[in-house]
Amino acid sequence: MKNLHILLEDLDYECLQGSMDREVISLVYDSRKVEKGSAFVCIRGTVTDGHAFARDVVEKGAEVLFVEKAVEVPEHVTVIRVKDTRYALALLSCAWFDHPSRRLKTIGVTGTKGKTTTTYMVRSILESAGYHVGLIGTIETVIGEEQIPSENTTPESYVVQESFAKMVKAGCDCVVMEVSSQALMMHRCAGFVFDYGIFTNIGLDHIGPNEHSSFEQYLECKKILLKQCRIGIVNRDDEHFDSIVQGHTCQLETYGFSPDADLRAKEAHLVSHPGYLGIAYRVSGLMDFPVEIDIPGKFSIYNSLTAISICRHFEVPVENIQAALKVAKVKGRVEMVKVSDEFTLMIDYAHNAMSLESLLGTLREYEPHRIVCVFGCGGNRSRTRRFEMGEVSGRMSDLTIITSDNPRNEEPQAIIDDIKTGIGKTDGKYVEIIDRKEAIRYAITHGEPGDIIVLAGKGHEDYQIIRGKKYPMDERVLIREILKELKEEA
């Protein structure tokens, strides 16, 4: 329970009607959760407008409404008008949970690519040095021993503050979180200042209906983070660097390969042997030591440099950084699974043409005997993606094994046929096996020395949607089952 005046301390508002002398039982933005004594925040969503539920929530017992426009409700209900109810929800949530961010070191990571891996690397390094680290991101929210699957990269502001409060209670002293452009645009992280704000890179993504109207708008939303943090850490090599830092209000630091970067990578080289791919380099500038990472590709250098740039401020010993980066893993992001001493198998979330092309290009640098790509595409989604992914795999893989992803309400064969249309524009070889487990079995049993086998598209997901129903399906479990069955058959 909170006094209404306490909730309003940081908010600009106008009371349209009712008493300001209220005790609020709960702060709610979902009309289904209203109870007697609730304060309800009317949010304008993409599908529904919370203002339309004003009368309904009052009948359920709401005694305070936060609105952007006048609503017709009984006179005893307190109605408070604000300029933006999403922004108001963020500030109200901070107050409702007693400003938990003030008791945590907060680290926010934004960018088109690298957010997820960077947050896990940061968590790995800081925990190796004895910190208790909460995490909020695309895959999950981690609070102590609790792991909560995520629905959004960055949850609603109320959930962010609720998670912070739980982290404080669980003994966490810092939190690292992914901050999406949508979250910044919709004020999900408003109401507090990040201790560290990280900008990894920006590219042409998330532009279109229900996202951002243009690249310029996308960039402007991302840049908000550098006006909402004390220390900003930015990729100096990004071609849009000057635009990214324009208007920043934080103390600025940079990283990258550029000689102008504060923290630099040099002497980078690939590391590989059967069943293993990695990369090594030397950190220079603000720090000086060698690093090896068990994740392939140049992007791993950027991700780890970002993590080092952050953890430097926590005075983590070099040996802790080196050891933690060597074992840092992210479920479904270039995740290597040991199945053979002769070839390498990995799971990756690459589920569109751009991410698949980037992944396969990275793996080609290791000069494998063959690249074998196992993937499918989601049903009830753009057919163009199927053509494009088929063409990319046909062009860049030595063998494509086309299978099912989440067919949803479409026939798997129809999706496969679309992918084949894309492959047909290339000289790429392919086989088609609808059942994903059988497709993985085929890839493993036909693996050749020096191969790199990629299971693309599912990544961290542990389900498959067929005819509208969700079924358990974790590729790691499938691999274990296949290896057990092959051993029994031997």
Map residue 65 onto helix, strand or coil: strand
* pLDDT per position as a tens digit, 231-246: 999 999 999 999 999 9
Measured CA to CA in angstroms, residue 245 lies from 84, 177, 220, 250, 311 at distances of 27, 21, 11, 10, 21
CB half-sphere exposure, 420, CA atoms < 13 A: 14
| Reported confidence tier of residue 50, pLDDT bands at 50, 70, 90 | very high
Give the separation between CA 154 and CA 99, rounded to whole angstroms: 18
Give the separation between CA 265 and CA 213, rounded to whole angstroms: 35
Strands 133-136 and 174-178, by their bridges, are parallel
Contact between 104 and 165 under an 8 Å Cβ cutoff? The reply is: no
User: Which residues are within 8 A (CB) of 451 and not within 5 positions of it... i.e. 6 or more apart?
Assistant: 342, 343, 344, 368, 369, 370, 371, 372
* pLDDT per position as a tens digit, 127-174: 999 999 999 999 999 999 999 999 888 899 999 999 999 999 999 999
Contact between 201 and 166 under an 8 Å Cβ cutoff? The reply is: no
Contact between 204 and 241 under an 8 Å Cβ cutoff? The reply is: no
DSSP 8-state assignment for residue 305: H
**Predicted local confidence at residue 217, as pLDDT:** 86
Structure tokens at 184: 């910044």
Structure tokens at 40: 């309800």
* pLDDT per position as a tens digit, 252-296: 999 999 999 999 999 999 999 877 899 999 999 999 999 999 999
How big is the CA angle at 300 (ends 444 and 304), to the nearest 5 degrees?
135
